[in-house]
Amino acid sequence: MPELVLIVLCVVGAFVLGMRQAPLWTWVLGFAAAMLIWQSGTLHGEPRALEPGWLGTAGWVLAAILAALCVPSIWRALLVRPLFQQVKRILPRVSETERAALDAGTIGFDAELFSGQPDWGKLRAVPPITLTEEEKAFLDGPTSELCRLVNDWTIRHNDKEIPQEIWDFVKQHGFLGMLISKQHGGLGFSPQAQSLILGRIASRSPDVCTIVMVPNSLGPGELIEKYGTPGQKEHYLPRLAQGLEVPCFSLTGPTSGSDAATMRDVGYVTRGMHEGKEVVGIRLSWEKRYITLGPNATLVGLAFRVFDPDNLLGKGEDRGITVALVPADHPGVEIGRRHLPSGAAFPNGPNWGRDVFIPIDWVIGGEAMVGQGWRMLMECLAAGRSISLPSSAAAGAKSLLRNTSAYARIRKQFDLPIGKMEGLEEPLARMVENAYVNEAARGVTASMVSRGEKPSVISAIMKYQTTERMRRSLNDAMDLHGGRGVCDGPANYLQSAYQMMPVAITVEGANILTRSLITFAQGALRSHPYLYKEIQACQDADDERGLAAFEQAFSDHVSFTVSNLSGALFHNLTGGWFGRVPDKAYGTAEWYRQLWRCSRSFALVADLAVAVLGGGLKTKQKITGRLADALSELYLLACVLKRYEDDGKPAGDRHIVGLCAHNGLWRFQQALRGAVDNFPSLPLRWLMRLAAFPLGARYKPAPDWLGHTCVELVLAPGEVRDRLTRYIYVSDNPNDPTGLLEVTFAKAVAAEAAEKKLDRAVRQGRVRRVHGTDWIGEAADQGVISDDEARLLREVEALTARVIAVDHFDPAELRPHYMTAGHNARAVQSAAAE
């Protein structure tokens, strides 16, 4: 029995030392004390001389080794130096382009999650969604006006083109220069405002959103604003802001897609004639494809690799990736042909050129920035990726929810609104969750960017998670609408998003790559507290300086690992009960505790994965993909809690937060469990399982009753439904397909009581509901319903007939334009084939 007490004390002591990241000598002291107590007989009250035995001898040998390692010179000689040499040998060199990607952007709350001990203060310090008066007026003024002007069907079906009046409107109101500073003639709006404006437009037309998004995302405007020469800023920024120039940005080529840095587009520094004078410039050959706005562009941002064989610039031959501004009408620039991406109407196409001479001062930033292109792109990417696609994915999830829940309330089958059927409640509950989560993460991340962060890992999470969630919502919305969603026409408000969803999945880093490579494999290097420091130390050209830096980082890393191990085990054994909770977490304390607990488990598994897989992380993508999912769930749940608090914890949203938290924790567990179960090392698999799942996988998805409660909240008009779908464009025009839904939804709910009376009369056989009879009139005549109720029911019936109607066409109307115009399209597959 006394031995048992000693063992318990030792275990508790180990937990305390481990979790507090105590130095090694305290472990040695604790271990020696325990050995002495055990061997001296003190436990049984019979002090005696030490009797080692084989176990005792082994214990003292271990204590001696640990004690020796406490001496810095021994620690260095026996452990750190051999390890340093070994790591140096096996570590793959981080290439220049990888280093640029790693050094670009900022580390933010993602590092807190990687640390296993998130500082909630840092999350709460992110300001809530705020707009200036001017930004609010723009959102509710020109942005809503633009939405009213847009006819999505005409754009994507009839015109297959953005109408000139829309181009004129966006140029006239400065939509194309939202990110350009006021000083240079732009609107100078915050990323939060840009995000909300883009989202509102996206909720109306993905095509129109795209033509506004591209100039306000990574491209000429941002690059000139950040790196341009004074001359470039003065000339181009006001012209871009007013829409006098339409920009595009050309990075992708036929052989360089996801791996854009391997581009074969090349420029040789040489002398040539420009405007009648001989100047130093670059002779360029390139082939780009998929370039959005390309066919309409007047100014082409072009990325290519520069060589200076005659060393005219004096900095060696291979100068690296460079970005230049090339007017689209410059001789030799071939541009204007179009791709047809997923039925979209926004302009997109290839461009190319052979031996085109440009003066050196067309390089963004001038001669000094030759070779700096990749760094410039990476630095701008994190901010842009946090804003553009997450805005439209959040808006998409919200408008899909608003329209689909209205339809589910209006459309009846088996005498029941389809949204009230359990089978459809499931997808609707998922849509509620996606709308809440996407908007929460959008808002928090845009606020981070607004205060100057460029969160590289978080932007990757946002890109793939928000677009994947929107894709899920779209599929759910399509299922829920049945044939009404499948058949296209002016009345179909789902098709444009459905057709264009693959574009959002593919651009700005295709989702599979973003999930499995960027978020965790590269993210771990950025957000892990010690890993990048260790790698940098190993790559230091000065061996001794590298060793010293490595020793510091490695020592901290060891105690970090031990802390994660004990922390994860402790919090998983105690069900997260002791997880750290921030002040004033009324109603959310339990979720904070669980987040803390999960963060502990994630930190342990991530750390061991990084330590064991090392350079192999890039290829072990099933493991890194799952770890990316696990990290994403933690970030998204943190955003959910932050949104709920920022909104003042509205009572109506409590269940929605619960739904998001239950499902988020469950998905986190699935992802982490998957990574552990498939981890390539058996002993570590067991160790991870012991610490992260000592009592098995305990989280469960949200219970059915919770999904039901949340769906009830959106099947009725009210503040919860409005808050869930805030900031999107909501039409009240019954001649607009979504406006018709809004009007009908409100009336259908108002007519519910009368409807019930009528249904009862039909069931009792007092009224016959078949074609050719006026059942509402009959019911009124029989006194089942009042005249007012009859009027309302008739109105609802007429409106409902319009809501459920599906367009049909004369076959001649459906012939493609180019056929009726009497000529055929000629497809060409590459510039080389021209």
Ligand X SMILES: Cc1cc2nc3c(=O)[nH]c(=O)nc-3n(C[C@H](O)[C@H](O)[C@H](O)COP(=O)(O)OP(=O)(O)OC[C@H]3O[C@@H](n4cnc5c(N)ncnc54)[C@H](O)[C@@H]3O)c2cc1C
Active site residues: 508
Distance from C-alpha of 405 to C-alpha of 473, rounded to nearest angstrom: 12
Distance from C-alpha of 744 to C-alpha of 723, rounded to nearest angstrom: 20
Q: How far is CA 268 from the centre of its chain?
A: 38
Instruction: Specify the stretch interacting with ligand X by CB under 6 A; choose among 111-119, 245-253, 315-323, 367-375.
Output: 245-253
Distance from C-alpha of 654 to C-alpha of 597, rounded to nearest angstrom: 22
Binding pattern for the stretch 199-238 against ligand X, x by CB under 6 A and - elsewhere: ----------------------------------------
Distance from C-alpha of 265 to C-alpha of 287, rounded to nearest angstrom: 7
Minimal distance, residue 759 CB to ligand X, in Å: 48
250 binds ligand X (CB under 6 A): yes
Positions in 256-275 near ligand X (CB under 6 A): 257-258
Q: What 3 state SS string does 82-135 have? A: HHHHHHHHHCCCCCHHHHHHHHCCECCHHHHHHHCCCCHHHHHCCCCCCCCHHH
Distance from C-alpha of 734 to C-alpha of 477, rounded to nearest angstrom: 21
Q: Which is nearer to ligand X, 98 or 712 (CB)?
A: 98
Q: Which residues contact 658 (CB under 8 A, 6 or more apart)?
A: 702, 706
Positions in 500-559 near ligand X (CB under 6 A): 503, 506-507, 510, 512-513, 516-517
What is the greatest pairwise CA distance in the chain?
A: 108
Minimal distance, residue 349 CB to ligand X, in Å: 10
Minimal distance, residue 90 CB to ligand X, in Å: 21
Q: Which residues contact 86 (CB under 8 A, 6 or more apart)?
A: none
348, 466, 731, 738: which one binds ligand X (CB under 6 A): 348
Binding pattern for the stretch 596-625 against ligand X, x by CB under 6 A and - elsewhere: -------------------------x----
Q: Which residues contact 746 (CB under 8 A, 6 or more apart)?
A: 717
Q: Which is nearer to ligand X, 78 or 266 (CB)?
A: 266
Distance from C-alpha of 161 to C-alpha of 327, rounded to nearest angstrom: 23
Distance from C-alpha of 101 to C-alpha of 308, rounded to nearest angstrom: 24
Q: Which is nearer to ligand X, 496 or 725 (CB)?
A: 496
Minimal distance, residue 257 CB to ligand X, in Å: 2
Task: Give the containing element (helix H, strand E) for 179.
Answer: none
252 binds ligand X (CB under 6 A): yes
Binding pattern for the stretch 270-309 against ligand X, x by CB under 6 A and - elsewhere: --------------------xxx-----------------
Instruction: Give the orientation angle of helix 81-90 with respect to helix 531-538, to 10 degrees.
Output: 80
- For ligand X, how many residues bind (rule: CB under 6 A)? 20
Q: Which is nearer to ligand X, 448 or 627 (CB)?
A: 627
| Among the listed residues 703, 722, 590, 597, the one whose alpha carbon sits nearest the alpha carbon of residue 652 | 722
Three-state SS for 250? strand
343 binds ligand X (CB under 6 A): no
631 binds ligand X (CB under 6 A): no
Q: Which is nearer to ligand X, 341 or 579 (CB)?
A: 341
| Among the listed residues 101, 695, 658, 703, the one whose alpha carbon sits nearest the alpha carbon of residue 379 | 101
Minimal distance, residue 254 CB to ligand X, in Å: 8
Residue of minimal Cβ distance to ligand X = 257
153, 227, 236, 249: which one binds ligand X (CB under 6 A): 249
Q: Which is nearer to ligand X, 349 or 576 (CB)?
A: 349
251 binds ligand X (CB under 6 A): yes
341 binds ligand X (CB under 6 A): yes
Minimal distance, residue 503 CB to ligand X, in Å: 4
Distance from C-alpha of 527 to C-alpha of 565, rounded to nearest angstrom: 19
Q: Which is nearer to ligand X, 251 or 321 (CB)?
A: 251
Minimal distance, residue 628 CB to ligand X, in Å: 11
How far CA 265 is from CA of 293, 312, 458, in Å, comes to 20, 20, 31
Minimal distance, residue 440 CB to ligand X, in Å: 26
Q: Which is nearer to ligand X, 67 or 512 (CB)?
A: 512
Binding site for ligand X (CB under 6 A): 249-252, 257-258, 290-292, 341, 348, 503, 506-507, 510, 512-513, 516-517, 621
